[in-house]
Amino acid sequence: MDFRFSQDEEQFRQDLLAFLGAELPPGWEGLGDDWNLTLATRRKLAERGWLTMHWPKEYGGQEASPLLSLIFNEEMSYHRAPGRDPFGARMLGPTLMIYGSEEQKRRFLPPVARGEAQWCQGYSEPQAGSDLASLSVRAQDRGDHFLVNGSKIWTSLAHRADWMMLLARTDPEAPKHRGISFLLVDMRSPGVETRPIINMAGSHEFNEVFFDDVEVPKVNLVGERDRGWYVAVTLLDFERSGIDHAAASRRLLDDLSAFLRDDESAALIGGARRWMWDLLAERYVEAEVARLIAYRVAWMQTGGLAPNKEASISKVFGTETFQRVADTGLKILGPLGQLTGDDPRAPLHGRFQEAWRHSFANTIAAGTSEVQRNIIAGRGLGLPRG
Amino acid sequence: MNLDLSETQQMLKAGARELLARECPYDLVRETEGDPAGFSRPLWRQMSALGWPGLAVPERYGGAGGSFMDLAVLLEETGRALAPAPLFSTAVLGALTLLDAASDPMKDDLLPRIAAGQALATLAVVEPGGGWEPQDVKLQARRDGERFVINGVKLFVPNAHASDFIITAVRTAQDAGPEEGVTLLLVPGAAEGLTPVPHRNLASDGQCEVTFDGVSAPLSAVVGRVDEGGPVLRRTLQRAAAAKAVEMVGSAEAVLDMTVDYLKQRVQFGRPVGAFQAVQHHCANMSIDLEGSRLAAYQAVWKLSQGQEAAREASTAKAWVSDACLRICSLAHQCHGAVGFTQEHNLQLHTRRARSQEQAYGDAGFHRRLLARGLAASQTP
Ligand SMILES: Cc1cc2nc3c(=O)[nH]c(=O)nc-3n(C[C@H](O)[C@H](O)[C@H](O)COP(=O)(O)OP(=O)(O)OC[C@H]3O[C@@H](n4cnc5c(N)ncnc54)[C@H](O)[C@@H]3O)c2cc1C
């Protein structure tokens, strides 16, 4: 065994760190939502070929190994850097490369590689969450186009998106997994309406999207008609990784340790005490384990293996570690921990209460912890279905 | 042994639940979050009309002559409803502290007004960087003839900006023993030099930072005796911790109820998600936590209500409930899926408050350390 990265991989990490040092605003804390900065950084990442580094060269990628992508995501997450593209680069791209027509690849991939197109994922519906295959947004065949009606919910970034990956029902008579199609929808089509949903952290990240007689040209069907479920499932596997959460956890722990080591800041909460370090140590161990699990997932992918169970383990452990880290931080910060960033007494700019509020989302989004545990037990351990 | 509420207490509880279900819908809770007053005056008027502020105040001061236990029964319900009203501050922090330690003239003057809901009172203890023990009180009150002059800051004072009186823990003697040199002063909310500013916190629950800039308090404002406020403060904080724990139990119960209701009607994979064993186990864990929390909280309340020493019970209650209530909220979020993460959903109202309640009068870690210290001390012969 060898837990080290190769020289090239280490070199990439250094290049990325230098880039982040140069491009992020001085003292960047990753607080607030600055969409212009996100877009500007994304274009710069694209210029270096990093945005879609894991793609084939012909579509604007660098054929980077999963380990390089892992390093990319680890550092971006640790530095709370804006600009990554979870939908276009991490989901649409890999999917089109397997299922897309030549025309679709030529049309949709280059704008993503250039960091110019924003995609969103229109899967979940009010009545179809974990049970995604029960979705009911309808797409009726009208000759050269589909006519789409219904609504999606929890659609992250729909309010910023140019395009949506839409799962819609094309055959209501077929068994539920077999009547679904995967469509690419222009968000500016007549009949598409996006309404914001504010989350418990007080921010606008996800949305409801309504379709009222929206026409989607047939050339925007990905894969075969009624086989969209299988296109979608392939893509779901790209969604699951724990490295973001492991790195974000580590960053919070480092921030808090620095805060406690500095007598002046520590004095705000009555000084660092022994029990605080004990608790932090417990969490550091977990964050380290989460990192290693995520590394193993990437390592398996590098060897061409499908880390199905491992990806679920990584997602569950990473997100739950992040929750515990945020919780521990608030315990250590004591009464002041609850203060939000706009209160002058808020330690660390209110980051821990903010992280804690957000931490509830991660064990839900991209497959709940329970569903991940089902995967671990079922597909992973081979236990029978309940 | 009898682990049930008395018949009158059960009636009180049912009546309170009914009233709050009607008069304190979640919409009211949301509205008051953005309101600088931090609570609903109409709701407070209704509580006052029913005699809630004076429930544990003796009849000779215009109260109902009930016990701390009776008051706790109400607090479980106001906790359940997240009622934006100064009942906790006025009835627990204000009235019971005065009853415990104030001079007769002070009681004669204040308690009838408090019992009638006309005067609001609260307590200022914790300071920047400080904890919840008498020895953490550092706020200086300098003796100047027949008065004290107070300079400094108190944090997390509930409803300070609306209170007529703030019982303020100050240091009046240095280098005394840990419990000594602390004095409780009754400072009018309108005193010159006193500025309460609501904290901007994750719960938006009306806690304030209070600045004392040369605030003057006459000797007659001393609650109890000069330099001897430490033990009074300790008892007050034990009552506050126990009462806060009961309030949290009410909130946690509401969270479990709304979760179970939701899981019965939310259908995925062709059946209610509540039918899945993984989800059932979450609910089972919530229910275990709630049961333990209620017993721990009420044991502390009961002992304090009996006038017995209850340091161990109060700390046990607050240590357990602080963590358990957060665990319950976390599992509730998990069971609700994305909808529980929305601002529009009522669950987050409980969750955010659980975090601020966790800290009030000491979190789990603080109380476990008090317990550990007590254990260590009693082991030495
Ligand atoms: C921040 C955030 C961003 C999101 N972004 C998007 C997006 O961009 N696009 C998109 O399409 N969706 C998005 N989602 C939706 C997400 O995919 C769903 O929330 C998720 O699939 C869970 O569905 P649900 O919320 O309806 O919960 P439900 O499925 O209703 O689950 C409720 C509870 O039941 C449990 N449960 C359900 N089925 C089972 C089972 N078989 N076994 C055991 N337990 C079970 C769940 O684990 C959970 O505890 C987002 C969600 C969040 C929180």
Cα distance between residue A153 and residue A207, in whole Å = 6
- Judge: B269–A323 Cβ closer than 8 Å, yes or no: no
Neighbours of A46 (CB within 10 A): 21
Q: Could you tell me if the CB of A133 is within 6 A of ligand 1?
A: no
Which residues 170-199 of chain B have a CB within 8 Å of chain A?
199
Q: Which residues of chain A are in CATH 1.20.140.10 domains?
A: 240-380
Cα distance between residue B79 and residue B87, in whole Å = 10
Mutate to test the pocket of ligand 1, among A364, A374, A379 (most ligand atoms within 8 A of CB): A364
- Judge: B326–A206 Cβ closer than 8 Å, yes or no: no
Q: Which CATH superfamily is domain A240-380 in?
A: Butyryl-CoA Dehydrogenase, subunit A, domain 3 (1.20.140.10)
C-beta of residue B234 within 8 angstroms of C-beta of residue B134 = yes
Mutate to test the pocket of ligand 1, among A368, A369, A372, A376 (most ligand atoms within 8 A of CB): A368
- Judge: A370–B356 Cβ closer than 8 Å, yes or no: no
Q: Could you tell me if the CB of A58 is within 6 A of ligand 1?
A: no
Chain A contact present for B363, CB below 8 A: yes
Instruction: Please tell me the distance in Å from A372's CA to the nearest CA on chain B.
Output: 11
Render pLDDT for A91-128 as a digit per residue (tens, 0 to 9).
999 999 999 999 999 999 999 999 999 999 999 999 99
* Nearest Cα to Cα of residue B90 among B180, B23, B22, B189: B189
For residue A205, the surrounding DSSP H or E stretch is strand A204-217
CA–centroid distance, A130 to ligand 1, in Å, is: 5
Q: Which residues of chain A are in CATH 2.40.110.10 domains?
A: 119-228
Q: Which CATH superfamily is domain A7-84 in?
A: Acyl-CoA dehydrogenase/oxidase, N-terminal domain (1.10.540.10)
Which residues 203-222 of chain B have a CB within 8 Å of chain A?
203, 209
- Judge: B342–A271 Cβ closer than 8 Å, yes or no: no
Cα distance between residue B24 and residue B35, in whole Å = 15
pLDDT at B381: 35
Q: Which of B126, B279, B344 sits opposite A335 (nearest CB)?
A: B126
In DSSP notation, B19-58 reads: HHHHH--HHHHHHHHT-TT-S-HHHHHHHHHTT-TTTTS-
pLDDT at B379: 47
* A chain contacts of residue B209, beta-carbon cutoff 8 Å: 345
Strand partners, B211: B153, B195
| Helix, strand and coil in chain A, % to nearest 5 | 55, 15, 30
CA angle A122, A124, A128 (to 5 degrees): 145
Cα distance between residue B192 and residue B190, in whole Å = 6
C-beta of residue B287 within 8 angstroms of C-beta of residue B256 = yes
CATH 2.40.110.10 fits A119-228, yes or no: yes
Suggest the residue from B127, B154, B200, B328 to mutate for an interface test with chain A (most A CBs closer than 10 A). B200
* Nearest Cα to Cα of residue B350 among B299, B290, B295, B307: B290
* Nearest Cα to Cα of residue B277 among A267, A69, A383: A383
Q: Which of A267, A345, A360 sits opposite B333 (nearest CB)?
A: A360
* A chain contacts of residue B344, beta-carbon cutoff 8 Å: 197-198
- Judge: A331–B130 Cβ closer than 8 Å, yes or no: no
- Judge: A268–B129 Cβ closer than 8 Å, yes or no: yes
A354 is catalytic: no
Question: DSSP state, B113?
Answer: H
Mutate to test the pocket of ligand 1, among A118, A124, A357 (most ligand atoms within 8 A of CB): A124
pLDDT at A54: 93
Chain A contact present for B320, CB below 8 A: no
Instruction: Please tell me the distance in Å from B210's CA to the nearest CA on chain A.
Output: 13
Question: DSSP state, B141?
Answer: E
What residues of chain A score a pLDDT lower than 70? 235, 237-239, 385-386
- Judge: B128–A373 Cβ closer than 8 Å, yes or no: no
Residue A128: closest CA among chain B residues belongs to which residue? B268
What residues of chain B score a pLDDT lower than 70? 378-381
Q: Which of A202, A206, A331 sits opposite B363 (nearest CB)?
A: A331
Which residues 150-169 of chain B have a CB within 8 Å of chain A?
155-156
- Judge: A134–B269 Cβ closer than 8 Å, yes or no: yes
pLDDT at B380: 39
Cα distance between residue A50 and residue A30, in whole Å = 20
Which residue in A116, A208, A215, A239 is the catalytic one? Answer: A239
Q: Could you tell me if the CB of A87 is within 6 A of ligand 1?
A: no
With tokens 């779901």, the residue in question is: A236
Joined together, the tokens standing for residue B47 give 């509580």
Neighbours of B264 (CB within 10 A): 12
For residue A183, the surrounding DSSP H or E stretch is strand A180-186
Cα distance between residue A17 and residue A4, in whole Å = 18
Joined together, the tokens standing for residue B310 give 């209850």
Cα distance between residue B313 and residue B133, in whole Å = 16
Q: Which of B201, B345, B364 sits opposite A339 (nearest CB)?
A: B201
Q: Which residues of chain A are in CATH 1.10.540.10 domains?
A: 7-84
